[in-house]
């Protein structure tokens, strides 16, 4: 299992985590933004009117309304990434990461406009009368590149489990256990039943549910976020200053945060931006293909709003909660994760400037650090280390007040072997003060507002709603990919396996699934970006024709009213 995981991580290093990937993603967004004349700005107001149904036409083919299609797509994108993903981006790249998430979202508004329009244009009606669309259909029907469509569809099915299913319920179950003491298997069982009841009803039931969940979870999260932001209002100005200043200079070392290079913050911000709003990945077009509309561009206009709502609004709120509360660069007591733990040779203190510089270069791999990993033994008595010559790093910070615990809560006494910076003994639990990240960081931040400690409960509740709605949406994405590959006969077996995987992941390790998902996401994104670039001229002509017809219809309407 470990060997497979390491292979997938290596493969991902040449794909999503590679230096070139953010530039390709942003490059396509920049190209279409200029090529189509900033549609995310020019058509923004019109898009809201389309969502409101102002230009709906009777008899238009489709399964859902514009608003329901938007809600389904948003339920797939507004998920754990908006809560834990933003916190992870700031943890890794500092305040600058939020700036690059904004850039990705702004350009992604255009990218999503293009991919949704083309996918809606080449959608088909399936055997059961429902609509099916997505990048695989324009790759096949328009570009005659079935091999590329198959790669995309297979990657979509893998991502439905690795992005929308197993990690989501795993996060929900862990959060419910930590916050309320609920057994993970119980949480998984109850939600698996609810999931089955929703997705077996197909897109109409999915759309009906998501169109109700998305507004509720949005309002709840916004209220909770504002309770922190308004409480720390005096820190909003400095937070924005840090975002813009660090975006071009590299994240400065502050508090427990040891800083990040420009490249590090840029890469983390762009990648988290993609994982948040999925612009360019080709997933949301599958949901939008179900919308009742005869003009593909009208549904493309609706999709412009997704990155705006998902990233520029929701992710920004999360980022400001974390930055204004100040918890992002403070150390907090937590149980150390082995994956975030490393032991280096020598004694370092992150309150000393010289040590901070050395640690900065080491953690950011600048090539200017002389720090080496520690190999040797640590003597421990009554849970505390009594030997030195090493420094324990956890979550990119110097760990403090470290305690070693074994067999529940008993302090450990004995010798610990460290091999190349890693603790060998498996049954030791390490507790101490360090930086924290992901949902845990967001949870701490939400307790620093008007709601006090009660505010931290907003995170697990929001996480449950966000993640569950994501699982619903991604079941439909995988469903349509199965229809493309195997026909309608493959849908029910897929749904059964999807629900079963959802339940099992509530109490199982999903590390391998996450790693596989990293690869699958890129195998969706790169073919999709290639496809829309090949159809750039058709896209421009389609947009031009839409506005000509729209203007003509509006002129006729005015004449008839007169």
Shared domain check, 336 and 326: no
Shared domain check, 267 and 216: yes
Q: What is the mean pLDDT of residues 7-18?
A: 67
Shared domain check, 296 and 216: yes
Q: What is the mean pLDDT of residues 374-402?
A: 92
pLDDT tens across 83-122, in order? 888 888 888 888 888 898 899 899 999 999 999 999 999 9
Identify the pLDDT of residue 550: 87
Tokens 């082995």 belong to which residue?
Answer: 338
Residue 300 forms part of a structural domain: yes
506: left (phi over 0), alpha (psi -120 to 50) or beta: alpha
Tokens 């502050």 belong to which residue?
Answer: 254
Shared domain check, 340 and 307: no
> Of 413, 434, 455, which one is at a domain's C-terminal end?
434
pLDDT tens across 291-310, in order? 888 899 999 999 999 999 98
At 321, list the tokens: 């909660």
Asked if residue 394 has pLDDT above 90, the reply is yes
Shared domain check, 119 and 68: yes
List helix spans (H) across 432-510: 438-446, 458-486, 491-504
pLDDT tens across 177-225, in order? 877 888 989 999 999 999 999 998 888 888 888 888 888 888 889 999 9
Residue 5 forms part of a structural domain: no
Shared domain check, 222 and 339: no
Cα 275 to Cα 4, 81, 268: the distances in Å are 23, 7, 10
The 410-411 sheet, strands edge to edge: 332-335, 428-434, 400-406, 410-411
Residue 360 forms part of a structural domain: yes
> Of 401, 434, 467, which one is at a domain's C-terminal end?
434
Residue 89 forms part of a structural domain: yes
Residue 414 forms part of a structural domain: yes
Shared domain check, 458 and 402: no
Distance CA 475, CA 159 (A): 10
Domain that holds residue 115: 18-50+59-330+445-520
Asked if residue 271 has pLDDT above 80, the reply is no
Distance CA 200, CA 193 (A): 11
Shared domain check, 169 and 155: yes
pLDDT tens across 133-173, in order? 999 999 999 999 999 999 999 999 988 988 888 888 887 88
Identify the pLDDT of residue 562: 66
Shared domain check, 325 and 240: yes
Cα angle vertex 516, ends 510, 520, to 5°? 135
Query: Which of the pair, 64 or 538, is modelled with greater confidence?
Result: 538
pTM for this prediction: 0.88
pLDDT tens across 27-72, in order? 999 999 999 999 999 999 999 999 888 878 887 888 888 888 888 8
> Of 434, 468, 496, which one is at a domain's C-terminal end?
434
DSSP 70-102: HHHHHHHHSSHIIIIIHHHHHHHH-THHHHHHH
pLDDT tens across 413-465, in order? 999 999 999 998 888 999 999 998 888 888 899 999 998 888 888 888 888 88
Closest C-alpha to 325, from 436, 416, 400: 436
Shared domain check, 453 and 402: no
* Domain containing residue 270: CATH number: 1.20.1740.10
- Kindly state the percentage of the chain with pLDDT values over 70: 93
151: left (phi over 0), alpha (psi -120 to 50) or beta: alpha
Shared domain check, 266 and 290: yes
Shared domain check, 422 and 451: no
- Kindly state the percentage of the chain with pLDDT values over 90: 45
Residue 531 forms part of a structural domain: no
Residue 23 CB contacts under 8 Å (≥ 6 apart), including other chains: none
In total, how many domains does the chain have?
2
Residue 4 forms part of a structural domain: no
Residue 543 forms part of a structural domain: no
Are 133 and 119 a contacting pair, CB within 8 Å?
yes
Confidence of residue 527 (pLDDT cuts 50, 70, 90): very high
Asked if residue 373 has pLDDT above 90, the reply is yes
Distance CA 238, CA 406 (A): 43
Identify the pLDDT of residue 46: 93
């Amino acid at each position: 299992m470990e060997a497979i995981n390491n292979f997938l991580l290596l493969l991902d290093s040449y794909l999503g985590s590679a230096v070139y990937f953010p530039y390709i993603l942003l490059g396509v967004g920049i190209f279409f933004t200029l090529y189509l004349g900033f549609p995310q700005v020019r058509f923004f107001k019109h898009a809201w009117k389309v969502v409101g149904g102002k230009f709906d036409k009777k008899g238009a083919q489709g399964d859902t309304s514009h608003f329901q299609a938007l809600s389904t797509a948003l339920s797939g994108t507004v998920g754990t990434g908006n809560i834990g993903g933003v916190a992870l981006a700031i943890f890794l790249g500092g305040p600058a990461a939020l700036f690059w998430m904004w850039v990705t979202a702004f350009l992604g508004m255009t990218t999503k406009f293009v991919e949704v329009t083309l996918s809606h244009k080449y959608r088909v009606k399936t055997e059961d009368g429902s609509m099916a669309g997505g990048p695989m259909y324009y790759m096949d029907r328009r570009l005659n590149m079935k091999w590329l469509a198959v790669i995309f569809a297979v990657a979509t099915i893998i991502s439905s489990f690795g992005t929308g299913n197993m990690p989501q319920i795993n996060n929900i179950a862990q959060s419910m256990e930590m916050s309320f003491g609920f057994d993970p298997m119980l949480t998984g069982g109850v939600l698996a039943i609810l999931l089955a009841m929703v997705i077996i009803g197909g897109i109409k039931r999915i759309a009906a549910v998501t169109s109700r969940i998305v507004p509720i979870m949005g309002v709840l999260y916004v209220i909770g976020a504002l309770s922190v932001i308004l409480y720390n209002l005096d820190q909003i100005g400095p937070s924005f200053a840090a975002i813009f200043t660090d975006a071009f200079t590299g994240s400065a070392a502050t508090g427990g945060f040891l800083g990040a290079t420009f490249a590090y913050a840029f890469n983390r911000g762009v990648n988290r931006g993609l994982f948040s709003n999925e612009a360019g990945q080709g997933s949301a077009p599958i949901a939008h293909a179900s919308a009742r509309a005869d003009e593909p561009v009208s549904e493309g206009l609706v999709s412009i709003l997704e990155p705006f709502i998902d990233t520029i609004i929701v992710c920004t709120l999360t980022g400001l909660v974390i930055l204004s509360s100040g918890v992002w660069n403070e150390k907090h007591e937590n149980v150390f994760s082995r994956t975030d733990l490393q032991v280096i040779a020598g004694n370092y203190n992150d309150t000393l400037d010289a040590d901070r510089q050395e640690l900065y270069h080491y953690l950011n791999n600048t090539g200017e650090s002389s720090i080496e990993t520690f190999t040797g033994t640590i003597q421990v008595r009554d849970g505390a280390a009594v030997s030195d010559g090493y420094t324990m790093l956890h979550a990119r910070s110097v760990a403090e007040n470290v305690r070693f615990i074994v067999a529940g809560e008993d302090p450990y006494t004995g010798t610990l072997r460290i091999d190349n910076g890693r603790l060998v003994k498996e049954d030791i639990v390490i507790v101490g003060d360090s930086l924290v990240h992901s949902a845990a960081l967001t949870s701490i931040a939400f307790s620093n507002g008007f709601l006090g400690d009660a505010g931290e409960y907003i995170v697990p509740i929001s996480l449950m709603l966000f993640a569950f709605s994501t699982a619903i949406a991604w079941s439909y994405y995988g469903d349509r990919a199965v229809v493309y590959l195997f026909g309608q006969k493959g849908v029910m077996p897929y749904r059964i396996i999807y629900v079963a995987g959802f339940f099992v992941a509530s109490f199982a390790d999903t590390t391998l699934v996450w790693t596989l998902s990293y690869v699958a996401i890129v195998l969706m994104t790169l073919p999709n970006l290639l496809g829309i670039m090949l159809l750039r001229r058709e896209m421009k002509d389609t947009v031009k024709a839409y506005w000509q017809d729209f203007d003509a219809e509006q002129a006729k309407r005015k004449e008839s009213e007169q």
